[in-house]
Amino acid sequence: MEFLIREVDRSNLVKEAKDEIIRSIEENFDKYPEVVVSPDQKTLIDSLKVIRETEGGDGKVDSTDLLLQVSSSTGTNLDSWSRQRIVEALVNETGISQFEANDIAIAVEKKVFASDINIISVSLIRELVDHELFIRGFNKKLEKQNILGMSTFNINKIIFASSKENSNVVSNNPEAVNLAIAENTLKQYALKEIFTSDVSKAHMDGAVHLHDLGYPVRVYCSAHSLEFIKKFGLKLGNLSTESRPAKHAQTLTGHLNTFLASMQAYYAGALGIGYVNIFYAPYLVGMDYDRMKQEAQYLIFSCSQNAFSRGGQTLFIDFNIHTGIPKYMRDIPAIGPGGNYTGKTYKDYEKEAQMFAKALMDVWREGDSNGTPFPFPKFDFHLNQETFDDPDQRSLLEYACLIASENGSTYFIFDRDEVTLSACCRLRTQITDNVMLTNPESMRFCGFQNVTINLPQASYKAKGDYDKTIEEIMNSMEIAMKAHLQKKEFITKLMEKPGAPLWEIGKLAPDGRPYVDLEEATYIVGMIGLNETVKNITGKALHEDEDAYRMGLKIISTMYLKAKEFQNKYGLKVTLEESPAESASLRFAKVDMQKYPDYATDLVRGDKESGQVYYTNSIHLEADAPVDIIERIEKQGKFNSLIESGAITHIFLGEQRPDPRAVFNLVEKTWLNTQSAQIVLSPEFTVCKDCNSVTPGYQRNVVNHNHDHHQKEDENNVEEIENE
């Protein structure tokens, strides 16, 4: 009672009000029941123990101790009950008054003592406190008190049932369980703490999709340089030892694998490696072809079996292979064994680079021990006009076409710009930095984040009106840019001092530059469902009507100009990308079926009764559209000059195996007659889980697919490639 009277007396109320409140306290205080202590217990205050997080010596809560939320004899502290700690936590975390905090603490204490328990966790205390805040109307104050996490029921579901969301997770395993639980909590954290309510709401409503929400403390994806590893060796903060630059090709491969496994901790997505066959070349001088193929086998097999992170997934790695030495690299001094310059330039190693390209291609053609094609590292085959004109380079192209016809491993990348690096499913960047061009150890890039726009939903909100659809798309792009800026601000804090989670890539690297410079990164805006958007406005799909197709080009052109507007306004590189949309396409379609059924029901693709629905990817024509291959490549290719961060056209082959000469003709026509950035031939084959045999065709008893991706495969139109 004395405490209450003292608190009232300290308030700013007028004297008459203070006197009235104090008189009421004195009259009514004795009516409240005292805390009753059970006779068979010691004093509850002495016997009740609290499972508490321990603090480090600097007063900060240690992250290791934060995980120790269960009673054990090896780490977690059991403290005696203290109502005052509740009071202090409430005042510090919510900003309520001492009087209000003490009142809540007393209410919680009464409930705890009445329960007759001996040990209570901090999380349960917080729930009791949250309940008291709620019933007192402190809803805003609850935000800082929120506990993020999952119910025991949902954790059990994750442990005992494997996820099919990401087909790169080959099998359920303890790391996949850890990832799923961590992602769930971190997604909640990102939507509450990193992004503002309007951005989070746009994501939840399906207007945009914030990719990799489960990895909020990482950047998106990247391309790296072998020259960095060759010149500086392995000196990474997460390694307890350091290695000098490699003297042998096999050692370089070991360094590369360690480097990539270490780097994956900082990136949510793919890791690309540029000019693989060229930068290995100085290590291969004097090798015969058999020895060189052994090096190629070791490189591809080891990188394909690097399944250490992100739920036990194999690292998503891209190997960029070139048929010759590009003009801009011919006079670059070559780094050789031991990190030393050889005294030659890379044009002097063209023979070794081409031999190694052939050896790598042999391995990609043969597949693993069962003949299964390697999903990773991806075979990104770069070609330009010299590839067709030079006999040695043309020979490599013909071999790449043979491999494509047999197992679809080849991704044909058309270098219409001088310098490009590729990573992820289709992400690429053009290198314009002269420092990178003359010092290839600094040739790296970062795709910071990908935010994808739900184009069909914009047209639903606009009720099918074109001008209003553009307005809605622009609003969504504003949200996307806002999301980029908010995450950039958050990530900056994680990079700026030693001990911070991203300090390793934020600090100056041995080449004198930050390994990731957020001012030079690429901020990506993707899109899904252009086909359904124009169909909602015009009644025709992209392939069905020239006016609908031109409208699609106009929409993407407007998005391109908006990205350039952001670039000028914020001084950041903002580009469009065809989003890798295995899950986003599904989520958008399902959300829109619920929110806009009058529109979406007629436009989503897939099986509506089972809920296996999706939108057509990015700017693509419908997969089963009755158009020939060249028309598909040509029409989709016209968008590629606007979509700077990457685009791809899939040629679905079904069970057929086309003549390699027909594939060559297709590649040549694509180079000469279209603006396409990248094509890949996609055959269907099934790997038996019992005997590991590889069978042409798509068997229906498939284990490692999410159902909606399975539905997409069913609707792909099989293309006929003719040998003309």
pLDDT given for residue 61 in this prediction: 42
Per the CB < 8 A criterion, the answer to whether 460 and 210 are in contact is no
**What share of the chain has pLDDT > 70, as a percent?**
79
- pLDDT, one tens digit per residue, over 365-399 is 999 999 999 999 999 999 999 999 999 999 999 99
Q: pLDDT higher for 129 or 250?
A: 250
Q: Please report, rounded to a whole number, the percentage of residues in the chain having pLDDT higher than 90.
A: 60
Pick the CATH number of 224-436 from 3.20.70.20, 3.30.1490.100, 3.40.50.2020, 2.160.10.10: 3.20.70.20
Residues in the chain: 724
Residues of the chain with CATH 3.20.70.20: 224-436
Q: What is the pLDDT, as a whole number, of residue 699?
A: 59
pLDDT at 59 over 70: no
Assign 91 a pLDDT band (cuts: 50, 70, 90). Answer: confident
Give the residue-averaged pLDDT of 156-182: 74
Where is pLDDT greater, at 434 or 714? 434
Angle subtended at Cα 388 by Cα 384 and Cα 391, rounded to the nearest 5 degrees: 125
Average pLDDT over residues 221-232: 96
CA 198/CA 207 separation, integer angstroms: 11
Q: Distance between CA 258 and CA 306 in Å, rounded? A: 9
Q: Give residue-wise pLDDT tens across range 613-672.
A: 999 999 999 999 999 999 999 999 999 989 988 889 999 877 778 899 999 999 999 999
Residue 446's nearest CA partner among 423, 417, 465 is: 423
Quick one: pLDDT at residue 60?
47
- Bridge partners of 52, per DSSP, are 77
- Is 136 exposed, middle or buried (CB count within 10 Å of its CB: 0-12, 13-18, 19+)? middle
Sheet (strand 119-121) strand order: 77-80, 49-52, 119-121
Q: What is the pLDDT of residue 548?
A: 98
Mean pLDDT estimate for the chain = 85
Question: In this predicted structure, what is the pLDDT of residue 117?
Answer: 74
pLDDT digit string, tens, across residues 603-628: 999 998 888 899 999 999 999 999 99
The amino acid at 659: D
Q: Kindly tell me if the per-residue pLDDT of 92 is higher than 50.
A: yes
Q: Which of 241-250, 258-267, 270-279, 580-589 has the lowest mean pLDDT?
A: 580-589
Which DSSP letter does residue 240 get?
S
657 vs 407: CA distance, rounded Å: 8
d(CA 567, CA 521) in angstroms, rounded, equals: 12
Q: What is the pLDDT of residue 279?
A: 98
Give the pLDDT score at 65. Answer: 34
Q: Tell me the pLDDT tens digit for each residue of 305-336.
A: 987 777 778 899 999 999 999 999 999 999 99
Please check the confidence at residue 70 and state whether its pLDDT lies above 50.
Answer: no
Say if strands 221-225 and 445-454 run parallel, antiparallel, or are unpaired: antiparallel
Comparing 6-10, 676-680, 709-713, the range with the smallest average pLDDT is 709-713
In angstroms, rounded to a whole number, what is the distance separating the alpha carbons of residues 677 and 274?
Answer: 17
Question: 436 or 702: whose pLDDT is higher?
Answer: 436
Of 178, 185, 422, 184, the C-alpha closest to 316 is 422
pLDDT in tens, 537-590: 999 999 999 999 999 999 999 999 999 999 999 999 999 999 876 689 999 999
- Using the predicted structure, report yes or no on whether residue 411 has a pLDDT greater than 80: yes
Cα–Cα dist 145/126, whole Å = 7
Residue type, 467: D
